[in-house]
């Protein structure tokens, strides 16, 4: 990657960061979707309106995230503003709707715009304004014209930079009242004497009638520093005389902290990317190589930079080389793939023409305007050679196979031993579960147990891969999650440890380097006296909750990244309070990824509809009904992953 390209990327990232900060300061909620109505970007106000972090909103349906009501009736999906602009491809539309966030009724004025171009598919931009109180909104609009209501710190100085007036935001930012700074010049905000030249340069430029703008550090009254965008503009009277200066200080301290953290995370990921033994290649929607690590260049015999921008099929022998572009185009149009998310063994071709076997795993990342596909490639030539040698020693292989089968049976017994042998006498909670192991030994485990007389805990997790190693990881995690250990209960505070803290601890104790395994997980704590639940997820399919008062299913989707990746996305925590007859479903991805003989997935939508039909059932009836629907869908297809179901019903 050239220095100019890196500089361009850095400047672009910086520009996008500033735009994101600017849109985040807008009080109206703004959200942008693709042609399918999936959220591609939103500002901070939209996050606050929905009450969910942005990272959990991206690529989710806006119609599901923002259900609307009109005249106290639910708005059908085809009449949703986002859907209307796509159906009619009208340039814009506006309307007044109601949005319910938990117990809050929020009237919204929504303006939707249809956006299209000759080169990009259509998309929609929605601007949402809370009009809960028109009188208050009108007052705010009037007051926003006054300097005293500005959110940024504003200073009015004389022509020489001496303080004459400051707004309340200045006090909030710096801790200085007007009486502290009146008639002093603004140099007192600069941290050290070394910034005198900067201060003089600012004043000199403004005196000549120019605007000075830049990022600087300033002193707070308590001697701490804050990072700001400083904008100073000269003011002239009718005669053109320089009479005052207006300075605006926009606090970017937290943004800088976040930017530095992002830079650190990028550096960490780049280090992993660069030093990885396996080849890592990223391609775009056209199959062109976007990035690759040194291991990939070495594996395929190319010099640094030779493969960038080339079609990925250069690394394939026939017939894959000629067919690959067609496979990619078909996936982009239909969304149907038999390889993404599933490891497989195929062959590749080095620069010298040598064809070699490899193990391939592909993942997909959907960005605002791009699809990227990341391939992790492992050269298994040595392994295949070893397999061939083992085939020649048939008798020895049979003996080893018998031993391996015994180990697998032992691993299966270990896995089954981790399942609940008896359910706790939970009083208000009715509990039922179902576990159907696959033909391979997997890593699914779950449990429900009492922490003490007041609190009950439940977890479900899925270790990556199959076999003895996955089972051993499951054993280690289960041992760590013993109900009377210090991981789950704080004996000093006499309270359960929060789910987010439990997941953070597990993430530190089970790094991917330890077993070459990771796992997904849901952990929740239930207060049996109040029905209050705290929960957090680690890349696991979100639990489904049926509220007895509504015919809807809510997804408990608060959480972070999978366990083992070093807390790339910090664990968020959600809270809910159960009402009588509410019913909660925890499950593993073996349910949603179960496929029939035609490779059709059972999927989350079908599971949601199936679960909703069990609203009036007991926990045991619910589990049995869901399992029956899954097996009927598969039509006796062999399981390739465990099916685990855990239902809790609040009585």
pLDDT computed for residue 408 by the predictor? 63
Which tens digits make up the pLDDT trace of 177-224?
888 888 888 888 887 655 667 777 888 888 888 889 988 888 888 888
Report whether pLDDT(526) > 90: yes
Report domain extents, the chain.
27-133, 147-255, 276-380, 419-650
Report whether pLDDT(405) > 70: no
pLDDT computed for residue 528 by the predictor? 92
pLDDT computed for residue 335 by the predictor? 67
Is-cis flag, bond preceding 197, omega within 30?
no
* Band of residue 424 on the pLDDT scale cut at 50, 70, 90: confident
CA-wise closest residue to 506 among 472, 544, 467, 473 = 473
| Crossing angle (nearest 10°) for helices 468-480 and 499-509 | 130
DSSP helix/strand/coil, 490: strand
pLDDT computed for residue 540 by the predictor? 92
pLDDT computed for residue 299 by the predictor? 84
Report whether pLDDT(152) > 60: yes
> What DSSP assignment string belongs to 146-194?
SGGG-SSEEEEE-TTSBEEEE-HHHHHHH---HHHHTTSBGGGGSSSGG
* Band of residue 150 on the pLDDT scale cut at 50, 70, 90: confident
DSSP helix/strand/coil, 373: strand
Domain 147-255 sits in CATH at 3.30.450.20
Q: Across-strand partners of 100?
A: 105
Class of domain 276-380: alpha beta
pLDDT computed for residue 21 by the predictor? 75
Report whether pLDDT(612) > 90: yes
Report whether pLDDT(489) > 70: yes
Q: What topology does CATH give the domain 27-133?
A: Beta-Lactamase (3.30.450)
pLDDT computed for residue 464 by the predictor? 86
For the chain, give the percent of residues with pLDDT over 90: 27
Comparing 20-24, 124-128, 141-145, 147-151, the range with the smallest average pLDDT is: 141-145
Which tens digits make up the pLDDT trace of 331-354?
777 767 666 766 678 888 888 888
Which tens digits make up the pLDDT trace of 530-548?
999 999 999 999 999 998 8
Q: How many CA atoms lie within 13 A of 534 on its CB side?
A: 17
Q: How far apart are CA 302 and CA 282, in angstroms?
A: 16
Q: Which residue has the higher pLDDT, 391 or 459?
A: 459
Average pLDDT over residues 228-256: 86
- CATH architecture for the domain at 419-650: 4-Layer Sandwich (3.60)
pLDDT computed for residue 239 by the predictor? 77
Sign of the CA dihedral with 487 first, then 492, 496, and 500 last = negative
pLDDT computed for residue 389 by the predictor? 82
pLDDT computed for residue 442 by the predictor? 61
* Band of residue 61 on the pLDDT scale cut at 50, 70, 90: very high
Comparing 230-234, 278-282, 323-327, the range with the smallest average pLDDT is: 323-327
Query: What is the pLDDT of the chain when averaged over all its residues?
Result: 83
For the chain, give the percent of residues with pLDDT over 70: 86
Question: In the structure encoding, which two tokens stand for residue 304, read together?
Answer: 């640094």
Which tens digits make up the pLDDT trace of 560-583?
999 998 888 889 999 999 999 999
DSSP letter at 595?
B
pLDDT computed for residue 193 by the predictor? 55
Query: Are both 147-255 and 276-380 of the same fold?
Result: yes
Pairs from 365-374 (Cβ < 8 Å, separation ≥ 24): 366/38, 366/59, 367/40, 368/32, 368/40, 368/41, 369/40, 369/120, 370/284, 370/285, 371/284, 371/285, 371/332, 372/282, 372/283, 372/284, 372/290, 373/282, 373/283, 373/284, 373/340, 374/280, 374/281, 374/282
Comparing 60-64, 557-561, 563-567, the range with the smallest average pLDDT is: 563-567
Average pLDDT over residues 65-84: 88
Report whether pLDDT(295) > 70: yes
Burial zone of 624 (CB within 10 Å; 0-12 exposed, 13-18 middle, 19+ buried): middle
pLDDT computed for residue 128 by the predictor? 94
């Amino acid at each position: 990657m050239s220095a100019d390209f890196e500089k361009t990327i850095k400047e672009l990232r910086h520009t996008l960061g500033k735009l994101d900060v600017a849109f985040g300061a807008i009080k109206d909620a703004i959200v942008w979707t693709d042609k399918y109505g999936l959220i591609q970007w939103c500002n901070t106000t939209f996050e606050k309106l929905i009450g969910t972090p942005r990272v959990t909103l991206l690529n989710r349906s806006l119609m599901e995230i923002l259900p609307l009501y009109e005249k106290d009736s639910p708005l059908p999906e085809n009449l949703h503003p986002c859907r209307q602009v796509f159906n009619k491809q009208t340039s814009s539309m506006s309307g007044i709707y109601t949005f319910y966030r938990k117990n809050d009724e929020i009237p919204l004025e929504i303006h939707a715009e249809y956006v299209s171009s000759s080169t990009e598919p259509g998309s929609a931009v929605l601007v949402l304004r809370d009009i809960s109180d028109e009188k208050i909104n009108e007052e705010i609009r009037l007051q926003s014209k006054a300097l005293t209501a500005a959110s940024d710190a504003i200073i009015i100085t004389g022509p020489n930079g001496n303080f004459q007036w400051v707004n309340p935001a200045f006090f909030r930012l710096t801790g200085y009242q007007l009486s502290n700074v009146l008639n002093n010049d603004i140099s007192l905000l600069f941290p050290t004497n070394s910034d005198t030249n900067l201060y003089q340069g600012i004043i000199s430029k403004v005196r000549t009638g120019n605007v000075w703008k830049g990022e600087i550090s300033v002193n707070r009254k308590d001697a701490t520093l804050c990072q700001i965008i400083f904008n100073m503009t000269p003011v002239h009277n009718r005669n053109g005389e320089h009479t005052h200066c207006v300075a605006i200080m926009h606090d970017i301290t937290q943004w800088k902290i976040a930017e530095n953290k992002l830079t650190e995370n990028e550096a960490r990921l780049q280090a992993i990317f660069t030093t990885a033994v396996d080849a890592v290649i990223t391609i775009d929607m056209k199959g062109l190589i976007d990035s690759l690590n040194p291991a990939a260049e070495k594996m395929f015999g190319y010099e640094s930079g030779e493969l960038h921008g080339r079609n990925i099929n250069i690394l394939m022998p026939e017939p894959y080389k000629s067919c690959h572009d067609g496979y990619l185009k078909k996936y982009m149009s239909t969304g149907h793939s038999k390889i993404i998310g599933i490891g497989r063994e195929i062959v590749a071709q080095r620069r010298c023409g040598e064809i070699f076997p490899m193990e391939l795993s592909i993942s997909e990342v959907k960005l605002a305007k791009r699809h990227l596909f990341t391939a992790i490639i492992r050269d298994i030539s040595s392994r295949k050679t070893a397999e061939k040698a083992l085939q020649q020693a048939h008798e020895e292989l049979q003996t080893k196979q018998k031993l391996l089968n015994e180990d697998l049976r032992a691993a299966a017994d270990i896995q089954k031993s981790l399942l609940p042998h008896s359910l706790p006498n939970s009083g208000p909670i009715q509990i039922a579960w179902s576990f159907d192991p696959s033909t391979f030994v997997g890593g699914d485990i779950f449990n429900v147990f009492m922490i003490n007389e007041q609190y009950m805990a439940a977890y479900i997790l899925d270790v990556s891969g199959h076999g003895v190693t996955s089972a051993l990881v499951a054993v280690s995690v289960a041992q760590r999650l013993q109900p009377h250990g210090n991981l789950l209960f704080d004996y000093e505070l006499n309270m359960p440890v929060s789910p987010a803290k439990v997941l953070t601890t597990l993430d530190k104790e089970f790094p991917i380097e330890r077993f070459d395994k990771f796992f997904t997980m849901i952990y929740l704590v239930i207060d049996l006296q109040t029905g209050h639940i705290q929960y957090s997820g680690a890349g696991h399919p979100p639990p489904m909750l049926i509220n007895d008062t509504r015919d809807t299913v809510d997804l408990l989707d608060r959480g972070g990244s999978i366990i083992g990746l070093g807390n790339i996305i910090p664990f968020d925590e959600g809270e809910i309070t159960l009402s009588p007859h509410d019913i909660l479903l925890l499950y593993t991805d073996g349910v949603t990824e179960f496929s029939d003989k035609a490779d059709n997935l059972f999927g989350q939508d079908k599971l949601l509809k199936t679960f909703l039909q069990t609203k009036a059932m007991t926990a045991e009836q619910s589990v049995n009904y869901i399992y029956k629907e899954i097996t009927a869908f598969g039509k006796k297809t062999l399981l390739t992953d465990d099916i685990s179901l855990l239902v809790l019903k609040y009585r």
